Structures are given as structure tokens and as C-alpha cells.
Amino acid sequence: MYKLLVLCFASMALAACSSQTRTMSDDERRADVLLMASVDALGRRDYTQALRSLLDALKYDPKSAIIWTNLGVAYAGKNEPQKAEECWKKALQLDPKHNDARLNLGILYSGKKKYPEAEKVLKEASKDIAYPKLDQVSYHLANMYLALGKNLLAEQQLKVAVRENKG
């Protein structure tokens, strides 16, 4: 389950890194370089190297929700779900609008059969109509509803997932 999670979210930091428009400090630039190295490592499923890069990046930018989110992905890849959960919660503490962390957390909870928690965080992510991964949010809600035997809700979410994926 955790490897699937990593495959879904290993590349999310790269887009976030390249979209910076403000001037970065030297420490932020160092953290950004380390973050990009971690994205490369995550893409290769080299979770040990990704962890090294991300832990170093935190030394330069400990308030980066993106770094904390990807650290959670790396921990998930190392089959450390508790540490992954802590990282995603920290990312949301730093940036309550960071839906990538919320999506990862929902997938984790669903995989642990913590369905009320999964539903709560996934529905919160679904409220952001500009979030580019709404199809994934709906897909994971549908899977959760199927596991609970709520077939009508699952069907509704799958329709939303298809509609969002076409967008």
C-alpha cells in the first residue's frame, strides 16, 4: 500500500519548486536544491537517499510544507507509516491549505481502515475546487466507500473522478 502511495506523489514537489516567484534566500535555495534531489531519489524509489536529502533540506527550511510532505512520502516508502503521518500532519500545521499532505494522509488512513479519519481529510481536500488532484481525491473516496459497502457514494465519487480527470 505504501509503495502505491509513493508512486502517486513522488513528483509533486518538482512542480512546486519550479513555480516559486519570489526571491529566495541562500538557505531556501539550498533547501530547494536538496528538495529537487529528493524528488529524483523518490522517482527512483531510493527512499534512503530521499530521506537524507529531505532531512538536510529541513535544516535550511524547516517551515516548508512541501519538504515535510515529501519527507512523509519517503517514510511511507520505507514502510514507516507513523513517521509519514507525523510529517503530513506537520505539513498541514505549517500550511493548512497544503492538500498534497491531506491527500497522502487520507490514503494512509484508508489503508489502515481508519475510514472516518480518511473521509474527513479527503472531503476537506475536495473542497478546494482549484486543487489539481481532485480526481485522485474522489478516486480514493470511492475506494473507501466501496470498502464500506456504500456503493452509491462510491459511484458518485467515481463519476466526479472521471469528470475531474477530463478537465
What was the pLDDT predicted at 4?
44
Grid coordinates standing for 136? 485522485
**Consecutive sets of 10 residues in the chain, 167 residues long: mean pLDDT of each?**
45 44 84 95 96 97 97 97 98 97 97 97 96 96 96 94 86
Are 153 and 145 in contact, with CB atoms under 8 Å apart? Answer: yes
For 61, counting Cβ atoms within 10 Å of its Cβ (0-12 exposed, 13-18 middle, 19+ buried), the class is buried
What was the pLDDT predicted at 3?
45
Residue that has been written with the C-alpha cell 481502515 in this structure:
113
Report how far residue 82's alpha carbon sits from residue 99's, in angstroms, rounded to the nearest whole number: 19
Query: What does the DSSP 8-state code read for residue 22?
Result: S
Report how far residue 43's alpha carbon sits from residue 28's, in angstroms, rounded to the nearest whole number: 22
What was the pLDDT predicted at 23?
85
Report how far residue 121's alpha carbon sits from residue 124's, in angstroms, rounded to the nearest whole number: 5
In 3D space, the residue among 31, 27, 26 whose CA is nearest the CA of residue 68 turns out to be: 31
What was the pLDDT predicted at 2?
45
Query: What does the DSSP 8-state code read for residue 19?
Result: T
What was the pLDDT predicted at 167?
62
Report how far residue 42's alpha carbon sits from residue 155's, in angstroms, rounded to the nearest whole number: 33
Question: Would you say the C-alpha torsion 150, 151, 152, 154 has a positive or negative sign?
Answer: positive
What was the pLDDT predicted at 165?
87
Grid coordinates standing for 130? 482549484
